[in-house]
Amino acid sequence: MTEKKITVGIIQQQNTGDIADNKKRLKHHIEQCAAKGAQLVVLQELHNSLYFCQIESTNNFDLAESIPGESTEFYSRIAGELHIVLVTSLFERRAAGLYHNTAVVFDTDGSIAGKYRKMHIPDDPAYYEKFYFTPGDLGFTPIKTSIGTLGVLVCWDQWYPEAARLMALQGADMLIYPTAIGWESSDTPQEQKRQQDAWIISQRGHAVANGLPVVAVNRVGHEPDPSGQTNGIQFWGHSFVCGPQGEILAAAPDDSEWCEVVEIDLTRSENVRRWWPFLRDRRIDSYNDILRRFID
């Protein structure tokens, strides 16, 4: 069995309302990762701007852009110059009145290797994403790149084992989750810990169940609520990488920016699946009811 390793750059960033500055700092951090040997760099969800979904405002649709467009040109150029695979997360304007939360993956030559439109769209206090995003229609399809096949999902998708499984069944080498999640100001410290632990456990569970590494990249820092109805969101950072047995390979702090490179040994996925052949033992003849909303 040929050994295969990939070095992954993780960029956890605190954003401001200055989009140009956010992109400038992202470029600098991407270059830092590449200088450390990163072959693949992953950015957080909706990384160009503040997390605008704290409120429902039609003015925020001005933040959306076409794909391809200005941002894809910007990140394409970076990926091509640095010869890296780059996973980005953009607010896509598909047509007037039709918008998606879309991950775009660039290959080492700067070309668009593929895109994924977020499938699961939340609608919770301070996370009013259903107002902005139409659910994805590209399916749970991995994106093939020159360094491997990437199972790219986005944030709320990370709670759904079905999404991770479908990516794994189509040959994904790893699962990747650009993310924007944090604490609302009224949460108690005990509730904050429960939420963060559940977030980590859920994704480590996807790694174990599918025998795949997981890369989760979250934003960090406080972003105020423009409406003033809440005290805003404290994004909890804690970006992390885990291996195919759920083992933590690297984890970022909760309260500061982080830019690191992590080596992932894809050979371990092959070995773990030999030891724990979960895919072999699936009872696919008995899962028809999974397509039902609820079994009553």
Q: Which residues are catalytic?
A: 45, 118, 155
Residue 249: burial class (beta carbons within 10 Å; 0-12, 13-18, 19+): middle
Peptide bond into 68 cis (omega under 30): yes
Q: If we measure between CA atoms, which residue out of 107, 110, 8, 92 comes closest to residue 46?
A: 92
Helix or strand run (H / E) with residue 163: helix 161-169
Helix, strand, or coil (residue 175): strand
Contact by Cβ (8 Å): 211, 244 = yes
Contact by Cβ (8 Å): 117, 145 = no
Helix or strand run (H / E) with residue 81: helix 70-82
Contact by Cβ (8 Å): 266, 274 = no
User: What are the C-alpha distances in Å from 206 to residues 42, 177, 209, 213, 214?
Assistant: 18, 12, 5, 9, 8
Contact by Cβ (8 Å): 106, 146 = no
Distance of CA 144 to the CA centre of its chain: 16
Q: Residue type at 156?
A: W
All residues at 6 or more sequence positions from 69 whose CB lies less than 8 Å from its CB, including other chains = 93
